[in-house]
Amino acid sequence: MANLRAGVPVQIHLETMMKNAEDSNSFVFDLTGQLVQIGETIYIRYVELGEEGEVPVTVKIMPNGDVRLTRAAGSRLQLLFSPGKRVTAHYKTPYGLMDIDTVTPNMDIDISDGPLRGNLAIDYLLYAGEELLGKYNIRLQFTI
């Protein structure tokens, strides 16, 4: 078995969908990342290529079933997804900090061994105060 604490290469298929009042977008990425397991916590790291250039992303899957997504571009975004809860995050922009909230009505995590692989599905709503900014869906599949 690979040393997951030191990190192993992982193949990732990622689909993201976004819908707001004016627009909808979807993105699909097939890329190689890294998987690290420390205790019962799994970290999946990869780099997205987008309008902002290369954006390092970390997905942290915690033992309690919550998921933290960190995007470290010019603006740092760290979102916590906890099923059925409204969670406030601080979005660091060049103009200062902005409070945003996530509400996660649906989240499913399925991880299995032999070889280690998994599926992560997150449906969430993104708010600035009481204003709904958009509805988002993340679908991430990984295998080592």
Task: Read off the tokens for 130.
Answer: 């009481």
Q: Give per-residue pLDDT as tens, 46-63.
A: 998 877 788 899 999 999
Which residue type occupies 10? V
Global pTM reads: 0.89
pLDDT at 61: 96
pLDDT tops 80 at residue 76: no
pLDDT tops 70 at residue 1: no
Distances (CA, A) of 106 to 16, 111, 113: 15, 17, 24
Map tokens 């290529």 to a residue: 49
The H-assigned helical ranges of 23-83 are none
Q: Give per-residue pLDDT as tens, 77-97.
A: 899 999 999 999 888 777 778
Residue 71 CA from chain centroid, whole number = 8
Would you say 79 and 73 are in contact if contact means Cβ atoms under 8 Å apart?
Answer: no
Would you say 47 and 30 are in contact if contact means Cβ atoms under 8 Å apart?
Answer: no
Q: Give per-residue pLDDT as tens, 98-135.
A: 889 999 999 999 999 878 899 999 999 999 989 999 99
CATH number for 8-143: choose from 2.40.50.140, 3.30.1330.10, 2.40.128.20, 2.60.120.10.
Answer: 2.40.128.20
Cα separation, 104 vs 107, in Å, equals 7
Cα separation, 67 vs 55, in Å, equals 19
